[in-house]
Chain A
Amino acid sequence: MAGIWIVAETREQAFELLGAGCTLAPGMEAALTAVVPKGSAPPGEYIARGADEVLLLAALAPGEPFGAHLPVIEQEAGAGSPDLILFAATARGKESAARLAARLGCGLCSGCTALAFDREARSLRMERLAYGGAAIQKLDALSKPVIVTVPPRSFEAAAAAEGRQGRVRELPAPPPSPVKIVERKPKEKAATDIAEARVIVCAGRGFDRQEDLALARELADALGGELGATRPVTEELHWLPEDLCIGLSGVQVKPELYVGLGVSGQVQHMTGVRGAKVVCAVNRDENAPIFALADFGIVGDLYEVVPKIIEALKT
C-alpha cells in the first residue's frame, strides 16, 4: 500500500496538510499518516480528518528546536517507506524538509504551488514558481520518497468526518540537538494577519503622503477588509509596518477581493496577489501594468475616485 505522510508543527498546519493528502490519497491508493507533536490535539481529531495513522512526536525538552525530531522522523520514514512526505513551507518546515531529504537521499520540491497525481502515468505532478515569479517549473520525482513543502493556505483544511478509525503510536524521544534555543522573542501579533484576510485594500506609491493612507483604511472599513501595502510603502517609505507588505518576498495573500489603490502592478507584488479571487485596481496611469492583471480597473485619481466608491457603497 502506498503511503502519504504529513509532518506538521501545529494542529492548523496538520489539518491543511491532511486536506492536501486527502486530495491525493484516493488516486495514489495511499494510506495517510500524520506525524504531529504530542499534545498538539487529541489524536482523534487527526483521524477524523483523514489520518489512518497518527505518529506522535515526543514532547521536547526546553531549548530543543523542532529540528531535534529529525533523527526520529528519519528512522520512521526509513521503516515506513512512504511515497510522499508533505511539510508546510514555513521556516521550520522548509529547514526540516531539506534536512530530511538529505538524510533519506531523496528529492524535495519546495514551495509547491500545484500538486496532483497523474493516474495514467502513475506519477506525482509538481509545480512551483521560479525566476522571481516569472516562470512555472514543472517537476517529476526520480526518487522514493519525494518530499514536498506546501505554502500555508494552499489547501483547504480537511473536514472532520464521523466514525473514522485509525492507529496512534507514540514516537521515542529524540537525542539532544546540537542547536539549542536560548531565548524566544515572540512576535507581537498584529491585530490581523493579512494572509487570512478575505478582503484586502492595498496602498501603493500613488499615495502622496502617509496621512492620506487614511483614505485606503476608510475603503477597507467600508468593504469589511484589511489594509495591505506594497514594498515601496513599507520597506522604503516605512509608512506601514513590514508585515503588511504583499509580494514575492512579503506576504502571499489569497483574499476573495483585492483592491489596489495607486499600485502600479509590478510582478514582484502581483505574484503575491495571484491567489486572489477578484483583483480590482484604481490608478491614474492608464498604462499601469496592474490593469492587465486585474479583473476590474478604474483609470482615475484615487483621491477623487475612492471617496466616490465609498459613497456608492453606502447607498
Chain B
Amino acid sequence: MNFKLTEEQDLIRKNIREFCVKNVEPIAAEIDEKEAHPADLFKKLAEGGWMGIPIPTQYGGSGADYLTHAIVVEELSRSCSSTGFTVSIHVGIACMLINLLGSEEQKKKYLVPLATGQHLGAFVLTEPGAGTDVMAATTTAAKDGDAYVLNGTKTFISNGPLADTYLVFCWTDKAAGRKGMSSFIIPKGTPGLKPGEHFHKMGLRSSQTSEVVFKDCRVPAANLLGAEGAGMANAGVAFDHGRVGIAAQGVGILQAALDESIRYAKQRVQMGSPIARHQAIAWMIADMATDLQAARFLTYYAAWLKDNKQPFTKEASMAKLFAAEKAMHHTTKAVQIHGGYGYIKGAKVERLMRDAKILEIYEGTSEAQRMVISGNVLR
C-alpha cells in the first residue's frame, strides 16, 4: 500500500495553498459577513484551471485524477469553506455528471465552459417537500413534441441565483417509480426558469443559496442528460462524486480548526502556563488531530477507489458521514478552546463552527448516509 501522494499531487497542494493564502484568506471573513459571492476570486480560480481538475483536457479540464480535485477542495475549504464547497459542487456534480453521462454535443456545449470556469454549475434536486425522501418530489417534466415542459419548485439550491448551467432532476413518468425521474441540462435564461427566494444561512454564507422555480419551462429533448428514466441512477452518481468533495470540505475545516486551536493554545496563558500544557486542552487537540487524520484517509481512499475505477458508493458515504460529524464536533471544541474569544465575530473558529453544521445535512443527511452504509454492509 502506498500512502504517499505523488510528487504532482504534493506540488499541486502547495500551489493551491499559496493561492489560498494570497487570494482567499484575506477575503474569507468579509464574504461570510456580507454573504457576498466573490466573483473576482472565481475568475482567478478559473484562470488557474482549478474549476475542472478531473475533467479531460479535450473538454477544458486539467485531466488530473479525482484525488487531486479532493485535495484542492480540502485546501480551499481550509481557508473558506464556502469557496471549497462551491468548487466541490461545480466540479464534483455539475462537471462530472456531464462528463460521465453527456453526449459529445452536450460535452462540447456545456462541459467545456464549466470545466474552464467560464460558467458556474448547479445541482437541482431538493424540493420543499422532498429532502431525504427524493421520491416525494413534485416537479415534473411533461413531454411535448421534441421538448419537455418543467413545472415545480426546487429549494436550497447552491449557486441557485448565479449558475449558468442547471442540472435539474424531476419526474418524466411518475408511474414508473424509481425509474421515472430524468435529468436535464438547463442553461440560465431559459424562459420559465427563475431563481426564487434567496436564503440567509447560519453558515456557508458566501455560497449563494436559493429556490429555483420552474413555470412552463420548455427544454429541448437534446438537453436530456442520459436516458429518460435514469434520473435516480444519475443522482446516485452525483452523490457518490459530490460526497467525496464534501468529505474533503470537512477535512479542510478540521485542519483549519486544528491549526487555530494549536496556535491559540500555545499563546494563551492561564494559571501560569500556555493552555496547551493543560491536559484537558491537550487531549482535545489530540482527539482533533486523530479524527482529522482518519477523515483524511477515508476521503483519500474513496477518491482513490474512484480513480482506480472501483465502486466507491459506500466509501464516499462513510467518508462524508465521518468528516461531517467530526467537523461539527471539533469546530465546537475549537471554539471551546478559544473560550470567550472563540465566540466573537472575527474569530476564525466562530465561522468554522457555523460552516461545519451544514455538512451533516446536505448531499445526504448523516441519517441518509447511515442508510446507504448499512444497506451496503447488511446485504
Residues of chain A at the chain B interface (Cβ within 8 Å): 286-287, 289
Is there a chain A Cβ closer than 8 Å to B267's Cβ? yes
Closest B residue by C-beta to A292: B267
Complex Cα gap A287–B269 (Å):
7
Q: Which residue of B lies closest to A287 (CB)?
A: B267
A238 CB to nearest B CB, Å: 15
Distance (whole angstroms) from the CB of A169 to the closest CB of chain B: 55
Q: How many residues of chain B have a CB within 8 Å of chain A?
A: 4
Bound form: Cα–Cα A289–B264 in Å: 11
Q: Which residues of B contact A286 (CB under 8 A)?
A: 269
B336-351 toward A: CB 8 Å interface, digit per residue (1/0)?
0000000000000000
Total A-B pairs, Cβ < 8 A: 6
Asked if B268 is an interface residue, CB under 8 A from chain A, the answer is yes
Q: Kindly identify, within residues 268 to 285 of chain B, every residue whose CB is under 8 Å from any CB belonging to chain A.
A: 268-269
Query: Which residues of B are in contact with A by a Cβ distance under 8 Å?
Result: 264, 267-269
In the complex, what distance in Å separates the CA atom of A286 from the CA atom of B268? 8
Query: Closest CB of chain B to A311's CB: distance in Å?
Result: 30
- Which residues of chain A are near B264, meaning CB under 8 Å? 287
> What separation, in Å, do the CA atoms of A286 and B275 have in the docked complex?
14
Q: In the bound complex, how far is the Cα of B274 from the Cα of A286, in angstroms?
A: 12
Question: A286 vs B269: C-alpha distance in the bound complex, in angstroms?
Answer: 9
* Most A CB within 10 A of own CB, among B264, B267, B268, B269: B267
6 cross-chain CB contacts under 8 A: A286-B269, A287-B264, A287-B267, A287-B268, A287-B269, A289-B267
Closest-CB distance, B35 to chain A (whole angstroms): 24
CA A245 to CA B268, docked complex, whole Å:
29
> Please, how many angstroms separate the alpha-carbon atoms of A277 and B264 in the complex?
30
Q: Considering the chains assembled together, what is the distance between the CA atoms of A286 and B339 in angstroms?
A: 14
A286–B270 alpha-carbon span in the complex (Å): 11
- Taken together as a complex, chains A and B put the C-alpha atoms of A289 and B269 apart, in Å, by 12
Chain B neighbourhood of A289, CB < 8 A: 267
> Roughly how many angstroms separate A298 CA and B68 CA in the complex, as a whole number?
48
Please give the distance in Å from A5's CB to the nearest CB on chain B.
45
With A and B bound together, what is the CA distance between A289 and B268 in angstroms? 11
Residues of B with C-beta under 8 A to A287: 264, 267-269
- Bound CA–CA A286/B267 (angstroms): 9
- Which chain A residue lies CB-closest to B268? A287
Q: How far is the CB of B262 from chain A (nearest CB, A)?
A: 13
- For B269, list chain A residues within 8 Å (CB): 286-287
CA distance A269 to B256 in the complex (A): 25
Chain A residues with CB under 8 A of B267: 287, 289
Closest to B26 in A: A236
CB distance from B30 to the nearest CB of A (A): 15
Give A285's nearest chain B residue, CB to CB: B267
Closest A-B pairs by Cβ, 6 of them: A287-B267, A287-B268, A287-B269, A289-B267, A286-B269, A287-B264
CA distance A269 to B219 in the complex (A): 61
Minimum CB–CB distance from B39 to chain A (whole Å) comes to 22
B268 contacts across to A, CB distance below 8 A: 287
Distance from A56 Cβ to chain B, minimum over Cβ atoms (Å): 51
CB distance from B139 to the nearest CB of A (A): 49
Q: How far is the CB of B341 from chain A (nearest CB, A)?
A: 9
Residue of A nearest to B263 (CB): A287
Bound complex: CA A52 to CA B378 (Å)? 94
Give Cα distance in the complex from A287 to B268, angstroms.
Answer: 6
Min CB gap B201→A, angstroms = 29
Shortest C-beta distance, A62 to chain B (Å), equals: 44
Closest A residue to B267 by beta carbon equals A287
B300 to chain A, nearest CB (A): 32
Report the separation of the CA atoms of residues A289 and B267 in the bound assembly, to the nearest whole angstrom. 8
Closest B residue to A288 using CB positions: B267
Nearest chain A CB to B119 CB, angstrom units? 33
B25 to chain A, nearest CB (A): 13
Who on chain A is nearest to B264 by CB?
A287
Q: In the complex the two chains form, what is the Cα distance from A257 to B171 in whole Å?
A: 76
Q: Please, how many angstroms separate the alpha-carbon atoms of A289 and B274 in the complex?
A: 13
Cα(A286)–Cα(B340), bound, Å: 14
A303 → chain B closest CB, angstroms: 17
Bound complex: CA A118 to CA B269 (Å): 43
Distance in angstroms between the alpha carbons of A287 and B264 in the assembled complex: 9
Bound state CA distance, A238 and B112, in angstroms? Answer: 41
Smallest CB separation, B347 vs chain A (Å):
12
A286–B341 CA distance with the chains assembled, in angstroms? 12
Q: How far is the CB of B346 from chain A (nearest CB, A)?
A: 12
Task: Tell me the complex Cα distance, A221–B109, Å.
Answer: 67
CB distance from A100 to the nearest CB of B (A): 37
Q: What's the Cα separation between A23 and B264 when bound, in Å?
A: 46
A271 CB to nearest B CB, Å: 19
Minimum C-beta distance from B277 to chain A (A): 14
* A289 CA / B266 CA spacing, docked (Å): 11
Q: Shortest beta-carbon distance, A290 to chain B, in Å?
A: 12
Tell me the complex Cα distance, A14–B2, Å: 61
In angstroms, Cα B263 to Cα A289, docked, is 11
Assembly CA distance A117 to B269 (angstroms)? 43
Task: For the complex, give the distance between the alpha carbons of A218 and B271 in Å.
Answer: 37
| Bound Cα distance from A287 to B265, whole angstroms | 10
CA gap between A90 and B188 in the complex, in Å: 61
Q: In the complex the two chains form, what is the Cα distance from A287 to B267 in whole Å?
A: 5
What is the distance, in angstroms, from A235's C-beta to the closest C-beta of chain B?
Answer: 13
Q: How far is the CB of A291 from chain B (nearest CB, A)?
A: 10
> Shortest distance in angstroms between A237's beta carbon and chain B's nearest beta carbon?
12
Name the distance in Å between B205's Cβ and chain A's nearest Cβ.
24
B92 to chain A, nearest CB (A): 35
